[in-house]
Each structure stands twice: as structure tokens, then as C-alpha cells.
Amino acid sequence: VKPVYLDYAATTPMRPEVRAAMAPFLEEVFGNPSSAHRWGRAAAAALAEARAEVAAALGARPSEIYFVRGGTESDNLALLGRCAHIRSRGGTPKLVVSAIEHHAIMDSARHAREAFSADCVVLEVPSDHPLDVEALGDEVDEDTVVSLMWVNNETGIRLPIRRAAEVVREGGGTLHSDAVQAIGKVPVDVSDTPVDLLTVTGHKIYGPKGSGLLFVRTGIDLAPLLHGGGQERALRPGTEDVAGAMGLATAVRLVVAEREEESERLRALRDALEERLRGALDGVRINGLGAPRAPHITSLGIQGVDGQALLTALDLEGVAASGGSACASGSTKGSHVIEALYGEADTRATVRFSLGRGVTPEQIERTAAVTIDVVARMRESGAPS
Ligand SMILES: Cc1ncc(COP(=O)(O)O)c(C=O)c1O
């Protein structure tokens, strides 16, 4: 039997359309977009085409799209670039982040505290109802940068980005949103949501690894983190990855176009998986169940088993899941997201199943059957929890 991959929130396979869009730029159209000759001009034209394609899919202007090398870099540039700018005009930056942000934000915020003497406020996020962002208004002034993720990567919890963006704008602050797990799953359109900065990465949406972008709304100034040539209007110097940009643009265009239909399909599969598991097993909590959630992730808190042993057992049975963020795997520390939602004393094992294009109803049924069997066996054998 073929193994089942349910870790699409960690990464996805490249889709054929993306590969086809990239292919010419890996060989014959290999020029440097900064070169004045025909090779360079051909590459520059492709880069402009990719920028326009991404901008159209996100509701942005092409001049507001900056290609970078992945989600981590985009998050760092948003937070640290904005803090550096605020500092350069004599302000003291203040950062407000939710407690469930990705490490790329949490660690950038920590760095900003040291490098720019930034004040830092962490917002608690409820596990069973939507985050209330009205109180944000009291926190915000023109030196404030708020970073709230559109969809959480470990649980699928959605934060109220549109309202947050309105509140932050009223206070004169800047709102960044990490939309890495949101794009293609929930509507993301910067023409109807007044975010100032937005992060997207290619490899979660069937695009190339190491591709990504930062949307920077016109009028929002950032200082660069790297220094060199003037590429990407000097905000992200370095010879551009034209093939990567073409791949990213194709990936973004396709997931945005297919979003409604694919999200409904994934939601039905996820709901079926949750229902099967909760019907057959006691002591299963769906993390973030009462909060609004994106359709492609289910995070389970399972009583009476060891998390790592459970993931290993599932893998042996041919089901690839994860304990939370892949970026933190290998670490024995618990997830800061689950701790923020359920407290330090929570002893449940966490298993994240994340769904994507290749997942079928048969695979979901098999995953449910295997999980029920493995958990029951582990509980019977009294494996330490
Ligand atoms: C929400 C979120 N932000 C940022 C990242 C980092 O993106 P990248 O792997 O492209 O650096 C990830 C990847 O796990 C993510 O899920």
C-alpha cells in the first residue's frame, strides 16, 4: 500500500504547471535581469511578468511586490526592516505579536528587542473563540508594528486580519500578516484588507522551495537587511532568481484561482477525519476547535500516549504527519503554540494532519483507521505518556 502524506503544511510537491513555467529560465533564458543586453532584457521582462501575475492574484500593484527567498526572510524583512526604519527616523519601535506566531516572527521580535531596543507585547490567543482585536487600538501609535498571522501553521486557527488591519490603521501603526498558510485556503486580497505588509512563501503552495515575497503597501518605508546591488528597488539586493519568481507567480495564480473549490474539498476531508477519530477514540481534543479555522489543518491533542512515539508508529504504518511546526522538529521542546492555547501543564500528545491537493477520501479513511488502531494499541500497552 502506498504511504499517505498528510504534512502539506510543512511543504508540498511542486506541481507540473510550476515546473513548466520555470523550465525556460533554468536553461535558455538564463540572463541576469540587470544586464542591458538581450539576454538580460529577456530575464527582466520575465521578472516583470511574474511580479504582475502575483500582484493581480493578491490585489496589489506590481510595484508593491518584492521577491525574496522564502517565508522566513519575508517575515524578518517585514519586522526588522520596519523597526530599522522607525529607529532611523528617531522613534522607538514597539512590536505587538500574537502568542501563536511562527518562529520566524517570534525570533525576529526577540532580535528587534536587542538590536533596536524595541518594546514587545505578546497578545494571548483564545483556543475556543475568535481573537478580539478591538483592544489593539490602545496599543498602537505610529511607531508600532503589529504582526498577526492570517492562519496558524500548527492548528489552522484564523486571526481576524481585516478588523485588526482597520484598528491598526486607525491608530497610525503598521500591520504585517504572515499569510504563508492562508493563501489558497482562505481569501487573501490586499485591495479589500488594509494590511501594510504581507508574507507568502512558494513551497507551501506547490511552488519552488526558497521562493517567497513580501508585499509592501505604497507609502510604507522599510530599511533593507542586506546591502549590495540595487535589485528589488534596493530592498532585497542580490541577483534575482527569475525561474523561482516565475514558479512562485504560477503557484500563487493557480492556488488563488482554485481556492474556493479546493478549500471546500479539503474541509470535507478534514471534517470526515475529525469525526471518525472523535467517534472512535476517547480523550481526543481538536486544538482550536471553537476558533475560526482554515480548512487544511487539524491538530489533535490526544490523551494517554507519547507524541513522538505516536508519530513514529504512524510513520511505520505509512502515514506521514507531524507534531506541529516542521521547522521546530528535532527539538524536544513542546510547541509554544499549544502551550499558548492550553497552558504549560497540558500533557496531551499533539498530532497535526495537514491536507493538500494529493489527498483522497480513501487516504483519509486509511489514516483514521491506522490512527485509531495505533492509539488504542499504545494505550493498551501502557506506553509512557
Ligand atoms: C506560518 C509560517 N510562516 C513562515 C514559515 C517559514 O517559511 P519558509 O519555510 O519559506 O522560510 C512557515 C513554514 O513553516 C510557516 O508555516
Given this model, what pLDDT does residue 1 score?
85
Given this model, what pLDDT does residue 181 score?
98
Prediction pTM value: 0.96
Question: Does 83 participate in catalysis according to the annotation?
Answer: no
Cβ(145)–Cβ(86) under 8 Å? yes
Mean pLDDT value of segment 83-87? 97
Alpha helices, H only, 231-306:
242-280
Instruction: Kindly give the distance from the C-alpha atom of residue 180 to the centroid of ligand 1, in angstroms, as a whole number.
Output: 6
**Could you give the CA distance from residue 139 to residue 171 in angstroms, rounded to a whole number?**
8
Mean pLDDT value of segment 267-276? 98
What residues are in contact with ligand 1 under a 6 Å CB criterion? 70-72, 75, 102, 104, 149, 153, 178, 180-181, 201, 203, 212, 325-327
Confidence at 269, pLDDT banded by 50, 70, 90? very high
Given this model, what pLDDT does residue 382 score?
80
Listed residue (333, 308, 338, 305) closest to 321, CA to CA: 308
Instruction: Kindly give the distance from the C-alpha atom of residue 322 to the centroid of ligand 1, in angstroms, as a whole number.
Output: 15
Listed residue (208, 251, 234, 239) closest to 50, CA to CA: 251
**Low-confidence winner among 37-41, 227-231, 352-356, 379-383 (lowest mean pLDDT):** 379-383
Q: Give phi and psi for 42, each to the nearest 5.
A: -65, -45
How high is the mean pLDDT of the chain?
Answer: 95
Mean pLDDT value of segment 252-263? 98
Confidence at 43, pLDDT banded by 50, 70, 90? very high
Cβ(104)–Cβ(72) under 8 Å? yes
**Could you give the CA distance from residue 273 to residue 185 in angstroms, rounded to a whole number?**
18
Radius of gyration of the chain (CA): 21
**Could you give the CA distance from residue 335 to residue 154 in angstroms, rounded to a whole number?**
9
pLDDT (tens digit per residue) in 175-206:
999 999 999 999 999 999 999 999 999 999 99
Name the grid cell of 76.
524578518
Q: Report which ligand 1 atom has the smallest distance to the Cα of 209.
A: 10
DSSP SS3 for 243: helix
Residue-level length of the chain: 385
Mutate which of 327, 329, 331, 354 to test ligand 1's pocket (most atoms within 8 Å of Cβ)? Answer: 327
